[in-house]
Chains A and B, each alone.
Chain A
Amino acid sequence: MPVALAQTSIRSAVEQFGPGWEVVAFVVAIGVHAALVMALFGLAPFFFIWAERKVAGRIQDRLGPTRVGGAFGWLQSLADGVKLIQKEDLVPKDADATLYKMAPYLTCIASLGAFIVLPFHDGWAAVVADVGLFLLFAILSLEVLGIVLAGYSSGSKWSLFGGIREAAQMVSYEIPLAITGLIPVVAVGSLNLSEIGRVQSGGIQNWLMFNDPFTFTAFFVYFVVATAGCKRAPFDLAEAESELVGGFHTEYSGMRWSFFFLAEYASMFLVSMVAAILFLGGWHSGLPFVFENGLNEKVVGLFGNASVMGLAIGPYVGKLFGLKVLILKASALVFVQIWVRWTLPRLRIDQVMTTCLKYLIPISCFLFLGAVAWPLILFTATGGPDGGQTRWGRPIGEKIAPADADEPSKPAGGRTDDEVAALDEEAAP
């Protein structure tokens, strides 16, 4: 079972109280992580629902919300939430009541669960998992189950249509989503999101988006597919109000209805965070004056090794800056999603499926093959190992290999790597 990471730092803080406190540290660490992830899961939709209304208003030459909470109406989401809580929680007569009540929670849990492997800075993740990106996509793919169940259990044909459309769309769009997500993974050589972020330190040219032409294109394909995967316009066929009343959430009211939107906005933020980590340098600002850990060192120089209860301050301030950079990048991508929603007309369902099956899947497969072949192309073009030592030709896997790579220790008399390689060559015909 992957253990919460903050446990180590929290343990070092509580260790001074004596033995037997490691369980306390464990529980506290779990609590802190859960609270942080929940806060982000709740606050991101809170902000983006307001942003959506504001942007929509501006695009349509209106003002959007202006009253609640001051000049910009920034508490509008809170007012919405209070209103929705007060509404009656209806269950239609024809509905399968248990599933109907369960479906919004399932959607929400899937969306929230995907946040646990998402790093907000190097090592700042609830769970640092070797299979990070894979696990994230896996948990995110469960979201469709809640929506399909909601559509089925509502006992309404509009809901059922919405549910079936959603199932068909999500199952199709998962394929290019996974393939385009794998392209930066191929370039880095790791599924661990923390490692993928670490590779992109330094200038903007180190961002994986600018690694090769294929990752550059893959970013845009990923963004389109991720937008469709969150069932955002122009791909929001599951809830097309001009055809299906409200789609899968036609029969829902009150808080259960808002849970779907909580999940939708959280997923938008999540896929944007993933896009920022995979393609846009993660928590690295890419600016020359805050290169690498320059800022971190400055902060450490400022505060020295000051610590509160055993927690060093310096690195945390630097990491908070990185966190802010990452959230800014993700928010910019979410803004683009909102912008697209209020600009483009909705596609028809057959157009949505055609876009995915006939265009996006072949494109992403081609990009994947290209990204795999790219190091080989460069190697051939630059003329072998000596000529291949340019920054572009260097296999990017070397970038993350630590200088003092700790080889797995081998017992004396055992076979070494070289011997295994030699045996491999012998075995080859």
Chain B
Amino acid sequence: MSMDQVAGFLVGLFAIASCLGAVMVVLTQNVVRMAFWLIVSLGSVSGLYFSLHADFVAASQLLIYVGGTVVVLIFGVMLTASGPYQQIRSSPGETVVAGGIAVLFLALLASTVLSVDWNGGEVPALAEGYNPPEQGNTLRPIGLALLGARPDKDLGAPAEESLSTGYLLPFEIVSVHLLVVLIGASYLARAKKRSEEDPDS
């Protein structure tokens, strides 16, 4: 047993947990249980990101997806439930057809993935950074890239090449987009008069 095997074991664990969570999201009918399985799945995906040395993405996944989006979803479940543990079941026929098509689609994707020779399974070395790779060295390059500079590409590149462009414009667009979404969502969800046939519940 070696260190790689320990790491490989963890990767396998996270992979199984994320797949299991995703499958359970589909199979469960209760919305809050679906949300719980979604937490399992998304949290394990964040573990996979850590194993890929993408620590900033992994932390964002935890903070925004698991801590933010899922909480908002559960909040939505509570605000829209007309009774306790309400379930809206889909008809069995639809489920069987959808399941069959999903399995076929998965088989297609899996065969595609398996038929490609991924560079012989060779893993490129991690880039040199401010920190050792185990402590994560993606934070500063990502920050600089969002500010429009790409030292991870430009330093050491042949001098005649032009400078790489960063992600300043997309970053600005996304931030404005978030503001618009914030205003729009609060406008859409503002308290309104219920429709006439509102029961007293």
**Contact (A130, B10) CB under 8 Å given A135-B62, A142-B62, A152-B78:** no
Alpha-carbon distance A417/B70, docked complex (angstroms): 43
**How many angstroms from the CA of A148 to the CA of B70 in the assembled complex?**
11
Contacts of B189 in A (CB 8 A): none
Q: Does any Cβ of B come within 8 Å of A96's Cβ?
A: yes
Check A131 against B156 for contact (C-beta < 8 Å). no
Kindly state the separation between the CA atoms of A152 and B35 in the bound complex, as whole angstroms.
12
Within the assembled complex, what's the spacing in Å between the Cα atoms of A171 and B151?
36
Q: Which of A160-168, A256-264, A316-324 contacts B (4 or more CB under 8 A)?
A: A160-168
CB of B170 to closest CB in A, whole Å = 18
> A130 touches which one: B62, B68, B84, B135 (CB < 8 A)?
B135
Known: A96-B32, A149-B32, A155-B84. A135 touches B67 (CB 8 A): no
Q: Which chain A residue lies CB-closest to B56?
A: A131
A388 CA to B74 CA in the complex, in Å? 52
* In the complex, residue of chain A having the shortest beta-carbon distance to the beta carbon of B50: A1
Q: Give the contacting residue for B78; candidates A160, A408, A416, A424; CB below 8 A.
A: A160
A98 contacts the other chain (CB 8 A): yes
From the candidates A96, A128, A413, A420, name the one contacting B154 in the complex (CB within 8 A).
Answer: A420
Contact residues of A between 128 and 149, Cβ < 8 Å to B: 128-131, 134-135, 137-139, 141-142, 144-145, 148-149
Q: Is the CB of A2 within 8 A of B135?
A: yes
| In the complex with contacts A102-B36, A142-B62, A409-B136 CB distance below 8 A | no
| B59-A134 in contact (CB<8A) | yes
Q: Does A358 contact B (CB under 8 A)?
A: no
Interface hits, B110-143 → A, CB 8 Å: 128-131, 134-140
A99 contacts chain B at the CB level, 8 A cutoff: yes
* Chain A CB within 8 A of B3 CB: yes
Chain A: minimal CB distance from B54 (Å): 10
Cβ of A23 under 8 Å from chain B: yes
Measured between beta carbons, the chain B residues less than 8 angstroms from A99 are: 32-33, 36
Write the nearest CB–CB distance from A421 to chain B, whole angstroms: 10
Q: Which B residues are CB-close (under 8 A) to A170? A: 71
User: How many of B's residues come within 8 Å of A, CB to CB?
Assistant: 54
- Give the CA-CA distance A135 to B58 in the complex, in Å: 8
Query: For the side of the interface on A, what is the size category?
Result: 35 or more
Set of chain A residues within 8 Å of B32, measured between Cβ atoms: 96, 99, 149, 152-153
Contact with A along B3-22 (1 / 0, CB 8 A): 10011001000000000000
The answer, yes or no, to whether A124 is at the interface (CB within 8 Å) is no
Chain B: CB-nearest residue to A152: B32
Chain A at the B interface: mostly helix, strand, loop or mixed? helix
Selected contact of B63 from candidates A26, A129, A137, A192, CB within 8 Å: A137
- Asked if A142 contacts B66 (CB within 8 A), the reply is yes
Whether B33 and A98, one on each chain, are in contact in the complex, defined by CB atoms closer than 8 angstroms, is: yes
CB <8 Å contact, A171 and B154: no
**A386-425 interface mask toward B, CB cutoff 8 Å, 1 = contact, 0 = none?**
0000000000000000000000111101111101100110
> Which residues A260-310 have CB closer than 8 A to chain B?
none
Chain B residue nearest in CB terms to A412 = B156
Are A145 and B154 closer than 8 Å at their CB atoms?
no
Given A1-B50, A23-B2, A138-B67, do A131 and B10 touch, yes or no (CB 8 Å)?
no
B144 to chain A, nearest CB (A): 11
B155 adjacent to A417 (CB under 8 Å)? yes
Output the nearest chain A residue to B148 by Cβ-Cβ distance.
A424
Q: Which of B43, B130, B163 contacts A423 (CB 8 A)?
A: B163
Report if A377 contacts B (CB, 8 A).
Answer: no
A408 proximity list for chain B (CB < 8 A): 128-129, 155
Across the interface, do A130 and B33 meet the contact criterion of CB distance under 8 Å?
no
In the complex, which residues of chain B have a beta carbon less than 8 angstroms from the beta carbon of A135?
A: 55, 58-59, 62
Q: Tell me whether B67 and A141 are in contact (CB under 8 A).
A: yes
Which residues of the partner chain A approach B151 to less than 8 Å between Cβ atoms? 420
Contact B68 A141 (CB under 8 A): yes
A191, CB-defined interface residue at 8 Å: yes
- Structural contact, B134 and A164, CB atoms closer than 8 A: no
Q: Chain B, 57-95, contact with A by CB distance < 8 Å: what is the 0/1 string?
A: 011101100111011101101100000110000000000
Chain A residues lying within 8 Å of B85, measured Cβ to Cβ, are 96, 155
Kindly state whether residue B39 has any CB partner on chain A within 8 Å.
yes
Q: Residue-by-residue, is B39-54 near A (CB-CB < 8 Å gives 1, otherwise 0)?
A: 1000100000011010
Is B70's CB under 8 angstroms from A145's CB?
A: yes
A410, B155: Cβ atoms closer than 8 Å: yes
Is B29 among interface residues, defined by CB-CB distance under 8 A? no
- Encode contact with B along A163-182: 1 for CB under 8 Å, 0 otherwise: 11001101100100000000
CA distance A163 to B71 in the complex (A): 11
Which residues does A use to contact B, with CB under 8 Å? 1-3, 22-23, 26-27, 94, 96, 98-99, 102, 106, 128-131, 134-135, 137-139, 141-142, 144-145, 148-149, 152-153, 155, 160, 163-164, 167-168, 170-171, 174, 191-192, 408-411, 413-417, 419-420, 423-424, 427
A-B CB proximity, top 6 nearest: A141-B67, A138-B63, A130-B136, A414-B156, A138-B62, A135-B59
Q: Which residues of B contact A (CB under 8 A)?
A: 1-3, 6-7, 10, 30, 32-33, 36, 39, 43, 50-51, 53, 55-56, 58-60, 62-63, 66-68, 70-72, 74-75, 77-78, 84-85, 128-131, 134-140, 149, 151, 154-159, 163
What 15 additional pairs, Cβ within 8 angstroms, besides A145-B71, A164-B75, A410-B156? A1-B10, A26-B3, A94-B84, A130-B131, A130-B138, A130-B139, A131-B136, A131-B139, A134-B63, A135-B62, A138-B67, A141-B68, A152-B32, A408-B129, A419-B159
